[in-house]
Structure 1
Amino acid sequence: MAGVLPRGDRLPSLTGLRFLLAGVVLAGHVLTLGRFFEDQGVYEAADASSMASAAAVSSFFLLSGFVLAWNASPADTAVRFWRRRLVKIFPNHVVTWTLMLGLLMATGTAALLPVPDPGPGEAVRNLLLVHAWVPDMADFSSVNPVTWSISCEAFFYLLFPLLIRPVRALPARLLRPVIALVAGLVVTMPLVAMAVTDEAAPGSWSPLSTERWWLIYFFPPVRLLEFVLGLVLARAVQLDRWPTLRPRWPLLALAGVFAARTELPEEYLWGAATCLPMAALIPALAIRDIEGLGSRLGRRGPVLLGEASFALYMVHFPLLYEIRVLLDRRTFDTVTAALLSLGVSAFCVAVSLLLWRGVEVPMMRHFARPRGRSVSAASPAPGDRTAPLRQQDPAP
């Protein structure tokens, strides 16, 4: 396919997918939090956009596990791995945390979310990426609210050196049963949450109680299941134990889930309902790259934007917050609001490219690995589809 990056040691379609997922989150937040439209009928689509954003975050967790397992080298060490992940996520986090905290202090109002301004405790827990462990919206939505998912990722990274060993040791014949087991646990978690938490109080702004929402969506051990599913899927692809599937079929299944969303319990709209189609799509795209077929997501433009997707994910909320404050929460006619939404989205993408190039890239270049050392790529195991060489870092 013309314009596709050369086949080799990368899975470019998965890098391009990262931008698509970050773009879904951005679009959902511009619609539901920016609230530029004076026509309130526009917000009838808000339930679909919230579900799409939740599906994108779930897919990030799957993708993170898949790519880290794909890259995993027996020659690597836990300390080296943790160092790379710290250098990958923390500089952007510190920059956007500082920016958002400064904006909150300057404006004195939480203009986008129904939460109080963070106190010192909430701010510090957010900075240290432990805030997703606290079942209080003032914590898990504090400062830069999207970082709750990075708090989950930090937990996954901590466990990864322990998890990858048993995944790598799994006999090929057990890969599909383990995938089915983990996928079943993902789908079961909303039922568990419904059994152990109370429903929302009458008249609440949310259809879910804070405790139930936190347990389903924010609690790191629950979201770990999607990460583990990504790990095992990657191993199945490496050992040629996953069927070749055209991406259109998972996408059709995903469309079916969205079409049926009004019939699903609210608890399933926060990732569980869309996890299985996305868990089928990610290997399908990877196999196309392996076989040299590629996809539109593997073209240079989506790949470049995918490389900056973590910066986009981290910076878009502070920018949207400041724009909302500057506009004094005004609303506009449909055409003006639509153009404003597109302009705000483009502005967020442009700033994310600057953040990626100015902070993330130089930090990774200079500090991700000890000077004078390199980690050899993993050799393919017998029967491997391809060797898991170097692949773009999987943070959002």
Structure 2
Amino acid sequence: MRSTSREPRSALPALTSIRFFAALWVVVSHLAVMGYVNFSAPVRWVAGDSRPAVTFFFVLSGFILAHNYGDGLDGEGMRRFYVARFARIYPMLVFSLLLAAPVTAILLISDDHAHLFEWYGLPGNPALPLIASLLAQLLCLTAWLPFAALNQPWDGPTWSISCEAFFYLAFPLLVAFVKRITPAQRGLLLLAGFCAQGLWIAALPHLLPPSRSGFLTSQFPPTHLFEFVLGIAAQCYCRELQRGGRRYDREALRASLLAVLGIGVLSVWRPLAPAYYLLSPCFALLVGGIAMQKRPAWGLLGLRPMVVLGEASFSLYLIHVPLIHLAELAGIGPRGALALLAGMVGLSVILFFAIERPMRTAILRRYGQRASAAPSPAITA
């Protein structure tokens, strides 16, 4: 890979903003699953499934990392890249587990076997699996462990961090390979990857019992690797189009609208399961279309409040399940759902400015990388 010593380019503001809507999709889906939001059946069909939103994050992650680091990583650049990834995800990961600690303590002290099983998948004596689960989450390994007692306790959504950690490790090799091949070869690679993912998902129920095949379909990092590569490839195509100097605002707008239409239709229709499988190309088209526009969504996605919500979306994603659990234990019912949602969004913004960004800056400065005031290039779900 070509050596480079420069700082990565800042993330596109509009792509930072849309992270908020993906995180909100996840939060609302969990509120619906836990009975805080009573949607009509068709809406529940869509809102009750948060997996497509996580796939969106994986596609967006590949795109943004390729945008910021696609010119190559030498030895020093690679070290800085991994320090930046650690600084991006780990402080809030630890904070989310600290936030989940009171939930776990209350369930253990009150001997609440019903919620220990419903929320954590823990039957019987939970001490050993709780310790093992905590270690797995701290080591970003839960998505590799197909056991509910290990990947559900504490803060369940951290499974996606395991996927992102895997993608980060592979990123330097992936981006070098995807950039080196021709556009036609890249298209064949994506077609092969899409088919391979589909065949893998289709074969799993025939190879393993439902509890294992379901886990491998929804959480296993290699299952989602294609989505990350798709994001990298989409960014490469966008960069190649932009090299000609011509603007593609009109075509990009049409692509974005087509992607939104496809996402809407496939989210309701769902001709194949899981829903995220057919949606990932739509997500790549949406991300690429927004990136190619001068003023996406008529400039609304570039407004500073929207960008701040997008920056805080990682905090929102990680804190919402422990907070929903605490709310239920405190007796806050469906009538308080709107206030709970608003509170979680507000707290995520506070945490972004009070913990997430300062900790990221401190880690980057401590290990020799100049902290940037621009939105973070790392996108994680």
Using a 3 Å threshold, how does the CA distance of structure 1 residues 156 and 58 change in structure 2: closer, same or farther? same
Aligned counterpart, 1:62? 59
> In the alignment, is residue 126 of structure 1 matched against residue 131 of structure 2?
no
**Matched residues in 1 for 2:296 and 2:264: separation?**
27
Q: What are the equivalent positions in structure 2 for 1:34-45 lying under 5 Å apart?
A: 35-36=35-36, 42=40, 45=43
Of the three residues 327, 337, 344, the one matched with 1:341 is: 337
**Matched residues in 1 for 2:347 and 2:375: separation?**
27
What is the Cα deviation at residue 181 of structure 1? 2.7
> In the alignment, is residue 136 of structure 1 matched against residue 121 of structure 2?
no
What is the Cα deviation at residue 195 of structure 1? 3.3
**Matched residues in 2 for 1:97 and 1:391: separation?**
22
Contact in 1 for aligned 2:361/2:371 (Cα 8 Å): no
Contact in 2 for aligned 1:10/1:391 (Cα 8 Å): yes
Contact in 2 for aligned 1:80/1:369 (Cα 8 Å): no
Using a 3 Å threshold, how does the CA distance of structure 1 residues 133 and 247 change in structure 2: closer, same or farther? same
Using a 3 Å threshold, how does the CA distance of structure 1 residues 319 and 375 change in structure 2: closer, same or farther? closer
Aligned counterpart, 1:394? 379
SS of the residue aligned with 1:318? helix
What is the Cα deviation at residue 9 of structure 1? 5.3
What is the Cα deviation at residue 258 of structure 1? 2.2
> In the alignment, is residue 89 of structure 1 matched against residue 89 of structure 2?
yes
Aligned counterpart, 1:268? 274
Contact in 2 for aligned 1:83/1:369 (Cα 8 Å): no
Aligned counterpart, 1:357? 353
**Matched residues in 2 for 1:154 and 1:254: separation?**
27
**Matched residues in 2 for 1:161 and 1:74: separation?**
8
Contact in 2 for aligned 1:312/1:352 (Cα 8 Å): yes
SS of the residue aligned with 2:65? helix
What is the Cα deviation at residue 46 of structure 1? 3.5
What is the Cα deviation at residue 370 of structure 1? 5.5
% identity of equivalent residues: 27
Q: Runs of 5+ in structure 1 lacking a partner?
A: 1-7, 199-208, 332-336, 377-388
Using a 3 Å threshold, how does the CA distance of structure 1 residues 390 and 172 change in structure 2: closer, same or farther? farther
Aligned counterpart, 1:214? 215
Deviations 1:296-318 (A, max 9, x none): 32322221100011010011111
Aligned counterpart, 2:261? 252
**Matched residues in 2 for 1:87 and 1:373: separation?**
11
SS of the residue aligned with 1:240? helix
Q: Which has the higher contact order (CA 8 A, sep 6+)?
A: 1
Deviations 1:84-139 (A, max 9, x none): 11011111111111221232112324365261154211221112111110111112
**Matched residues in 1 for 2:120 and 2:268: separation?**
29
Contact in 1 for aligned 2:119/2:153 (Cα 8 Å): no
Deviations 1:227-280 (A, max 9, x none): 11111111111111897343111111111112313xx35x423x2132221121
Quick check: which one's helix share is greater?
2
Q: What are the equivalent positions in structure 2 for 1:161-310 lying under 5 Å apart?
A: 161-198=172-209, 209-240=210-241, 244=252, 245-261=254-270, 264-265=271-272, 267-269=273-275, 271-289=276-294, 295-310=299-314
SS of the residue aligned with 1:239? helix
**Matched residues in 2 for 1:246 and 1:219: separation?**
30
SS of the residue aligned with 1:394? coil
**Matched residues in 2 for 1:104 and 1:354: separation?**
24
TM-score normalised according to structure 1 size: 0.80
> In the alignment, is residue 47 of structure 1 matched against residue 55 of structure 2?
no
Q: Name the aligned partner's letter for residue 36 of structure 1.
A: Y
Contact in 2 for aligned 1:31/1:341 (Cα 8 Å): no
**Matched residues in 1 for 2:143 and 2:284: separation?**
24
> In the alignment, is residue 321 of structure 1 matched against residue 325 of structure 2?
yes
**Matched residues in 1 for 2:368 and 2:174: separation?**
28
Using a 3 Å threshold, how does the CA distance of structure 1 residues 71 and 248 change in structure 2: closer, same or farther? same
Using a 3 Å threshold, how does the CA distance of structure 1 residues 372 and 54 change in structure 2: closer, same or farther? closer
How many matched pairs?
Answer: 350
Q: CA RMSD in A?
A: 2.7
Aligned counterpart, 2:3? none
**Matched residues in 2 for 1:192 and 1:20: separation?**
32
What is the Cα deviation at residue 360 of structure 1? 1.0
**Matched residues in 2 for 1:174 and 1:194: separation?**
32
SS of the residue aligned with 1:99? helix
Q: Name the aligned partner's letter for residue 346 of structure 1.
A: A
Using a 3 Å threshold, how does the CA distance of structure 1 residues 348 and 391 change in structure 2: closer, same or farther? closer
What is the Cα deviation at residue 161 of structure 1? 1.8
Contact in 2 for aligned 1:288/1:294 (Cα 8 Å): no
Contact in 1 for aligned 2:364/2:371 (Cα 8 Å): no
SS of the residue aligned with 1:246? helix
Deviations 1:5-29 (A, max 9, x none): xxx9541111111000000101111
Using a 3 Å threshold, how does the CA distance of structure 1 residues 375 and 172 change in structure 2: closer, same or farther? farther
**Matched residues in 2 for 1:227 and 1:146: separation?**
18
**Matched residues in 1 for 2:268 and 2:223: separation?**
26
